[in-house]
């Protein structure tokens, strides 16, 4: 059972890591890839927004698994 708060924290640090932690591996890979792509295009200015959205998503993903 994954902790929703821990999943959110993981995704704030590295987008997609919280999804991995919650057991959603493909979703985690997709979010991580998207964060890297947007970071490259925007010069990292879009990465904090992706991290926040990923953290919210990870929280709800982990909540559903409990």
**Cα gap 40→59, rounded to integer Å:** 26
Nearest to 27 by CA among 49, 11, 40: 11
- Contact predicate 55/6, CB 8 Å: no
Tokens of 8: 């959110």
Domain count of the fold of the chain: 1
What is the residue-level pLDDT of the chain in tens, covering all 66 positions? 889 999 999 999 999 999 999 999 999 999 999 998 988 898 877 778 888 999 999 999 999 866
Torsion angle of C-alpha atoms 10, 11, 14, 18, degrees rounded to 10 = 70
Range of the domain at 18: 4-65
Q: What predicted TM-score, i.e. pTM, was given to this entire model?
A: 0.86
Residue-level pLDDT at 19: 95
Q: Length of the chain, please? A: 66
């Amino acid at each position: 059972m994954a902790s929703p708060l821990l999943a959110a924290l993981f995704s704030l640090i590295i987008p997609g890591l919280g999804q991995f932690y919650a057991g959603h591996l493909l979703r985690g890979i997709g979010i991580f890839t998207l964060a890297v792509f947007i970071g490259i295009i925007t010069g990292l200015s879009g990465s904090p927004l992706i991290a926040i959205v990923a953290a919210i998503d990870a929280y709800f993903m982990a909540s559903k698994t409990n």
